Structure 1
Amino acid sequence: MYRAIKVRIYPTDEQESYLAQCFGNTRWLWNYMLNATTTAYKETGKGLSKAAMDKLLPGLKKEYEWLGLAYSQVLKRLTFNVSSAFVNFFEGRAKFPTFKSKHGKQSIQYPQNVKLIPFDSVIKFPGNLGLMKAVFHKQLPNAKFTSVTISRNADGKYYASIVFNQEYTPVVAIRDAIGVDLGLKNFAITSEGLKYDLPKKQLAKLENNKKRKQKKLAKKTDKTSNKRRKAK
């Protein structure tokens, strides 16, 4: 079972500049791979697999040197996401993938080598990004995380979405039943010998409620008796 936790992060000016470059690089690569896969599908009836897209990366890095500024695993994760987008489309789980714009939400995804350090309020990213201040409002699950996505919203705020692969533990039904006897001296006694008493306030409340209801019942009984006498 996958669970995602969103954390607010605060990059330095230098880190912001680097992230802006990475956002642009991965956005360009997404559009390039999307176009290449669409063209291949129109010409051959088959799109490009992730392996085929990965083979294009070394040549693209030589032709466009700025592409190599992004962490290598970020680029490989992008080819995986492009491939997954097409698979989801053909299997009816999503719409046809679209080109990305610089005016939309910007993001890059790290599949590995990220270290979460909540006690120091930082996240350590691989490559040129390094340590970044983070605010952990929730306790992190005791589970392995599969990816960390850095995003920048339209308002300029940065976030890290951490996806955890958390094992599901089914609830086991309890077969052994425990008998409970209600008594006068003790409120309840279990078959295991445990005794339970109601709190004094709760007991007093119940006693007062009991007295009120007994008075109402007594009045109703008197009225009924008087009506019967008059009827005679």
Structure 2
Amino acid sequence: MILKGVKVRLYPTAAQQEAIENNFRLNRFLWNQLLGMQIARHENGGSFVNKFGMNYLIKAMKIEFPFLKEAESTSLLYTSADLADSYDRFFKKQNGFPGFKSRRHPKNSYKSNCVNGNIQVADNHCLKLPKLGLVKANGLQRVKDRIKSVVVRKKADGTFEATLLVAFEAKTFASTGKAVGIDLGLTDLASQSDGFKLRNKQFERSLAKRKRQWQRKFARRRLLALKKIEVRKQATGENLELSTFKNVQKAKEQVARINKKIANQRNDYLQKYTTRLVKKYDLIAMEDLKTKNFLQNHHLSRSISDAAWARIKSMLAYKCEWYGKELVLVNPAYTSQICAHCGENTGKKPLCIRTFDCPHCHTTGIDRDVNAAINILNKALAQR
């Protein structure tokens, strides 16, 4: 059995929205209480309380704070597990010390475990969730396997979604005996060793003008709102929240909607391409690029981020595992300089030269990116 996540759009009622947001608040309260307890124990010379110890403390906290009983019980257990994991990463020097959760920058999500069928799909139109009952949802037709857990999330644009973790039996695709090498780029998102090129649609730039307009509106409205807050505080002593200004929230949600549209378009484009690859080829070879290093080039960082090279690699990794295909990552060194026919290194060439001409074997006219893709495939076959 393999686990995969399926995202569905939720359409909760007003009462269900309030229950979801209340669960966010209760999980944030529990996090802060447990973190404060851990800090106090450390200052008093006590030892760290692990995940199981914190789970036992939740029972006592429900007596001290009865309103915690309103929360979905398994989500509280996941909150203590997240805090324990955060401490583990801190002890291993993988991240900083855990911080308190703020109401101004909340974590608008919680996770629930499936226990005794409390999470179910009803008629492909409603999703049964603990403490919420039946919630209208879109996309449930893709959930055909056993549900393990669910993450309920409120997006920055005000919409709600659920990510269902389901266990399914993977079916391997038929073997084709074909192999392909892929060279990633910016003009063409992917160049294959068989000559096919995937066009880079640059989703970020297609909506850049509209996004920039709303970002400027948001910045202006936020600045005016902050000035009004300061004037009101000096005049009456009242401390207003930025969330009370509806025009500011509207502009913020518009920016979030545009970002969401860009992400959805890019994800759909890459999902379809990577699925075609694993259906057609048994061996897929790619460069093991470190995208973080390329982002230091500030002239190309925006285009590289929009290309989402790391996303392509991660998609191919799990799809090859699911469907019985092989993904080989090779060292990208000299793949654009070596002749794919004779193997001689011809040295660096400026990016304006798009064809590869070899002075050793006199190969001419081959596309530069296709030549690199063939070299990537040859490296992968050599290291198998």
Q: What TM-score results when the alignment is normalised by the length of structure 1?
A: 0.63
Q: State whether residues 8 and 138 of structure 2, in contact with CA within 8 Å, keep that contact through their aligned partners in structure 1.
A: yes
- Residue 41 (structure 2) aligns with: 40
- How big is the shift at 1:26? 0.8
2:136 to 133, 136, 149: 133
Residues 115, 67 of structure 1: alpha-carbon distance in 2 compared, 3 angstrom cutoff:
closer
The secondary structure found in structure 2 opposite 1:120 is coil
Bigger CA radius of gyration: 1
- Residue 117 (structure 1) aligns with: 121
- Residue 81 (structure 1) aligns with: 82
Q: Output one character per residue of 1:83-132: Cα deviation in whole Å (capped at 9) or x when no partner.
A: 12222332344443322222333112101234331643211112x31111
Residues 120, 167 of structure 1: alpha-carbon distance in 2 compared, 3 angstrom cutoff:
closer
Q: State whether residues 118 and 136 of structure 1, in contact with CA within 8 Å, keep that contact through their aligned partners in structure 2.
A: no
Report the AA paired with residue 107 of structure 1: S
Report the AA paired with residue 114 of structure 2: Q
The secondary structure found in structure 1 opposite 2:68 is helix
Asked which structure has the greater RCO (Cα within 8 Å, sep 6+), the reply is: 1
Report the AA paired with residue 135 of structure 2: M
Rounded Cα–Cα distance in structure 1 between residues aligned with 2:47 and 2:169: 36
Matched, 1:24 2:13: no
- How big is the shift at 1:17? 1.5
Rounded Cα–Cα distance in structure 1 between residues aligned with 2:50 and 2:95: 18
Q: State whether residues 109 and 150 of structure 1, in contact with CA within 8 Å, keep that contact through their aligned partners in structure 2.
A: yes
- How big is the shift at 1:141? 6.0
The secondary structure found in structure 2 opposite 1:97 is coil
Residues 93, 40 of structure 1: alpha-carbon distance in 2 compared, 3 angstrom cutoff:
same
Residues 168, 39 of structure 1: alpha-carbon distance in 2 compared, 3 angstrom cutoff:
farther
Moved more, 39-48 or 81-90: 39-48
Residues 117, 91 of structure 1: alpha-carbon distance in 2 compared, 3 angstrom cutoff:
same
- Residue 4 (structure 1) aligns with: 5
Q: What is the correspondence of 1:71-110 to structure 2 with a 5 Å cutoff?
A: 71-103=72-104, 104-110=106-112
Rounded Cα–Cα distance in structure 1 between residues aligned with 2:86 and 2:172: 32
Gaps of 5+ in 2: 178-384
- How big is the shift at 1:67? 1.2
Rounded Cα–Cα distance in structure 2 between residues aligned with 1:21 and 1:151: 13
Q: Output one character per residue of 1:108-167: Cα deviation in whole Å (capped at 9) or x when no partner.
A: 2101234331643211112x311111111772364x443211111232211111223556
The secondary structure found in structure 2 opposite 1:123 is strand
Report the AA paired with residue 106 of structure 1: N
Report the AA paired with residue 120 of structure 1: N
Q: State whether residues 115 and 124 of structure 1, in contact with CA within 8 Å, keep that contact through their aligned partners in structure 2.
A: yes
Report the AA paired with residue 153 of structure 2: S
The secondary structure found in structure 2 opposite 1:155 is coil
RMSD across aligned positions (CA): 3.0
Residues 9, 55 of structure 1: alpha-carbon distance in 2 compared, 3 angstrom cutoff:
same
Q: State whether residues 31 and 99 of structure 1, in contact with CA within 8 Å, keep that contact through their aligned partners in structure 2.
A: yes
Q: Output one character per residue of 1:47-88: Cα deviation in whole Å (capped at 9) or x when no partner.
A: 211121122222221221211111222212221221122223
Residues 94, 160 of structure 1: alpha-carbon distance in 2 compared, 3 angstrom cutoff:
farther
2:156 to 154, 163, 169: 154
Q: State whether residues 36 and 48 of structure 1, in contact with CA within 8 Å, keep that contact through their aligned partners in structure 2.
A: no
Q: State whether residues 108 and 151 of structure 1, in contact with CA within 8 Å, keep that contact through their aligned partners in structure 2.
A: yes
Matched, 1:58 2:62: no
Q: State whether residues 124 and 140 of structure 2, in contact with CA within 8 Å, keep that contact through their aligned partners in structure 1.
A: no
Rounded Cα–Cα distance in structure 2 between residues aligned with 1:91 and 1:166: 34
Q: State whether residues 120 and 147 of structure 2, in contact with CA within 8 Å, keep that contact through their aligned partners in structure 1.
A: no
Q: Output one character per residue of 1:195-225: Cα deviation in whole Å (capped at 9) or x when no partner.
A: xxxxxxxxxxxxxxxxxxxxxxxxxxxxxxx
Residues 172, 45 of structure 1: alpha-carbon distance in 2 compared, 3 angstrom cutoff:
farther
Aligned residues: 173
